[in-house]
Structure 1
Amino acid sequence: MAPTDLPAFPLWLESVGRYLMAAGPDPTEWIQSVHALVRSYDFGIHHVIRAIHKTSYSGVREFHVLADDGLDGEPGVSFTMTAFNSLSVQQHRAAAYLFRGLSKLELNFSSCLIAHDETVFSLHHHSGERRQQLAQLAALLKGAKSLTELGLHFSDRPGLLDDIAVFTMFMYQHELEDDPPRCLLTWIGFDTTWPKLRSLTLTGAFTVEDTLVAFIKRHAATLHQVKFNYCCLMVGTWANFVDEAVSRPSIHAFTLNGVHEYATPGEEENITRMEKSTRAELLYRGAIEIDAEGHRYFKSTSTRSVYVTRNDSGSL
């Protein structure tokens, strides 16, 4: 079956893996045609952004790229990191113009395309291209100083949420091989400060404890809501991050949903090599609550306490 015979984009994505298995030992040409198609869809967003810039319209305060399940159950177009690949001067200028005026930004990146990236199939490792994409996104985010709400989601399919942090780690494995390893959040500009930021939601990202704790400290004066869905800590423990959040009364709502650590004391394999059923037992869930005496604490809603790893490893 030729790529042109496939069902309408993006419904065929779920069968990509099966098709590759039958495509022979070197399906490189087919994969390249797929990525060319993906890029053509991703860059459509820049036509919208450039139109806003060309008219000098400065009234856009919210920008949402929704998950590709679309409205009313109708499938939409997947949005991937390739939207930030090799931006022209005009495209970057237009995007920067839009981002500077935003107060709310939500980006849903397609987990399906991340999961079926060339890196996963071990065909080509375009580390330079991927870093360029991250750098472009970082530059835009760093310039968005008016943001009050930020949501970045590296998953658009609920059925893959348990695995999504593993998928993103596969996609950016070159960045993890740096010395010292750099987390996804660092690559996309989370070392900056958004002076008005009140709400942060992340899904499917991998990071390190120091990055998160530093982020909370820098935004202590403004940050009120924090939610992490299915994120992975490469270094450190979620317990230390939780304690930092609990100590900040300005953070009214703090939720962890299905987060986990890369390595677990007592486990021979890291999270990427475990069976899905085993990984499920290591996920943390919970939220900050206030007891009858007015004391803040983290209430775990998972069978595994967020403090288990820290206690088992003896870290402080």
Structure 2
Amino acid sequence: MSFTKLPSELQIEVFSNLSNKDLKNVRAVSTCCRDNASVWLFRSIIACARYQAMGAFQKISLHPIYREYVKEVVFDATEYDRALAENEHEYQRNVDNHNDLKHTVGWFRHAKFKQYQQLYRDQEAMKDDGILLHTVAKAFEWMPHVHSIVYCARPRHIPIEKKDMRDILPRVFWHMPPRRFSWTTPENGFHHLIGAVALARYTKVREFHVDPYPLDYSQARPDFGFGFKDFLFANPDYLESGKCFFRNLTRVELALTAKTPHSLAPMLLEVSRNMRTLLSEAKELRHLGVRMDLFANLALSSTNHRSSFAHFGLSTEWQKLQSINIEGIHATEDELHGLVHRGRYTLESMEFSRCVLTSGKWSNIVEEVVYGTQIGAFVLNRVNEEYVGDERFATMSSEDAEQWYYEGEVGRNAKGERCFEERPGKSVYAWRNLLTGTA
């Protein structure tokens, strides 16, 4: 029997195993294959504050077949910048420092600036007039199987946008900050997204992932990426929307990768309070990942808390939590002891990467996990203590510092007993040698 003669249900099931590139090729075989392969092209769709992309988003949500297959909404959080859209001189300064655009001829440059300016105005109109909020809210009413939302900090485009995107500054590129940059706390697109979920009373979203943008910080806006600005709500209704959104989540993966403008520093305590409020609302949480970068930690240190752990809702007791992965957090031994203790009956997996203990010893955490819990998978990946003896870790040479990074995981010894397995020549107990004077 020819493949094209197979029932549509079977064809759709077969096509589910193909990549998007292959699906596009299959669509050219026949009308039947086109229809049955197309449904899998819309498993994940993009939402953003851009008219063309949202037009496509709306069409998919209204399609009687395609909308049934949408499982994930990817929110493109990148935005056109006001400081560049309102000042052509600043825009052209940045064009001069963009490798692919700096050779653009003068008359064409002005036309592209006007295009950038119009895209910025469209973006703001979509937010100010409620178009983004209500379009996404209606779509959630029509798409019954969306279970995941991804916050994307890198530009994501659909094919029909290619012409508009050509030869204008990328939305996250900012080589030279405008001389009169001032950061405010407007409603951003992410607030509209969670507001739309609440407005639609949609309760089926179970996963929230942040996809950070791997960009050289020297070429990024001060507020790019998912960061503290997203937890600062100009309208208190969005905090309530956030609580509704987090309430049904079973998997949360956050990546705080944003540099923090100095003007935001006085608001960090409010930001911290909102972060704790939202995470503590996730009573159904099974899997949690939190990643912070150096800039986020430096910003939090300005609030007189050496521990960034204190700014999250990580002291919450999640009754159903099965795995936790923490990267880049500064914490005290007592804080991590509390985390281990609260999850001792439910946790199956725990990993710390690039974390710093501002007080206490990692060896004490290891002993509690190995001998005081039944956590099956416990991993330390390049963690350290803030001080080694009387010397600050951050002031050590790279060669010396390398000796004080701890790595290892829980395993079983020859007797079948739980133990902590480490790389040869390194041990979380090495600090004891400093006390005894041994090598």
- Scaled by the length of structure 1, the TM-score of the pair is 0.76
- The 5 A counterparts of 1:25-174 are 29-30=180-181, 32=182, 35-36=183-184, 43-69=188-214, 78-110=225-257, 113-114=258-259, 117-118=260-261, 124=262, 126-155=264-293, 164=294, 167-174=295-302
Aligned to 1:222: 346
Cα distance in 2 for partners of 1:248, 1:235 equals 21
Paired residues of 1:286 and 1:302 also in contact (CA < 8 A) = no
Residue 158 of structure 1 corresponds to which residue in structure 2? none
- The gaps in structure 2 that reach 5 residues or longer are 1-87, 95-168
For the pair 1:186 / 2:310, whether they are aligned, the reply is yes
The letter of the residue matching 2:277 is A
Q: Is the 8 A contact 1:246 1:296 kept in 2?
A: yes
Which structure would you say has the larger Rg? Answer: 2
Change in Cα spacing, 1:290 to 1:103, as seen in structure 2 (3 Å) is same
- 1:248 Cα deviation after fit: 3.7
Asked if 1 retains the 8 angstrom alpha-carbon contact of 2:233 and 2:239, the reply is no
SS at match of 2:340: helix
Alignment partner, residue 415 of structure 2: 293
**What letter corresponds to residue 4 of structure 1 in structure 2?**
Y
Uncovered stretches (5+) of structure 1, i.e. residues with no partner: 119-123, 156-163
1:10 and 2:172 aligned: yes
How far the C-alpha of 1:182 sits from its partner, in A, is 5.7
Structure-2 residue corresponding to 1:203: 327
Amino acid at match of 2:188: F
What is aligned with 1:281? Answer: 403
Q: What is the number of residues matched between the two proteins?
A: 267
Hey, what's the Cα distance between the residues in 2 that align with 1:239 and 1:312? 14
Whether the 8 Å CA contact 1:239–1:310 is kept in 2: the answer is no
**Alpha-carbon distance, 1:219 to partner:** 1.4
Distance 1:293 1:135, change over 3 A: same
* CA RMSD across the alignment: 2.7
Farther-moved stretch of structure 1 (57-66 vs 294-303): 294-303
Greater relative contact order (CA < 8 Å, ≥ 6 in sequence):
1
> Is residue 317–residue 343 contact of structure 2 (8 Å, CA) maintained in 1?
yes
- Cα pair distance change 1:109/1:3, threshold 3 Å: farther
1:285–1:302 CA contact under 8 A, matched in 2: no
Match of 2:389 in 1: 265
On the 8 A contact 2:380/2:408 being kept in 1, the answer is yes
TM-aligned CA deviation for residue 275 of structure 1: 4.4
Query: Identity of aligned pairs, percent?
Result: 27
Measured against aligned partners, the alpha-carbon deviations of 1:172-220 in whole angstroms (never above 9, x if no partner) come to 2233x3xxx5621122122221111110001111000001011111111
C-alpha deviation, 1:286, in angstroms: 0.9
Q: TM-score of the superposition, structure 2-length normalised?
A: 0.56
Aligned to 2:30: none
Q: Which amino acid aligns with 2:197?
A: I
Q: Following the alignment from structure 1 to structure 2, what is the Cα–Cα distance between the partners of residues 51 and 302?
A: 53
Q: Deviations over 1:139-196 (max 9, x none)?
A: 11111111010001114xxxxxxxx3xx444222233x3xxx5621122122221111
Distance in 2, matches of 1:3 and 1:276, equals 39
Q: Is 2:381 the counterpart of 1:252?
A: no
Deviation at 1:307?
1.2
1:247-286 Cα distance to aligned partner (Å, 9 max, x none): 144201000111111111153xx23334445433321111
1:63-105 Cα shifts (integer Å, max 9, x gaps)? 11112249xxxx9x62112101135221011110011111100
Q: Find the aligned partners of 1:56 and 1:302 in 2 and give their Cα distance.
A: 54
Name the SS of the counterpart of 2:203 in structure 1: coil
Q: Secondary structure at the match of 1:106?
A: strand
Could you tell me whether the CA contact under 8 Å between 1:168 and 1:206 is conserved in 2? no
Deviates further, 200-209 or 126-135: 126-135
Distance 1:169 1:276 in 2: 21
Per the alignment, residue 165 of structure 2 pairs with: none
CA distance in 2, matches of 1:204, 1:283: 13
SS in 1 for 2:276: helix
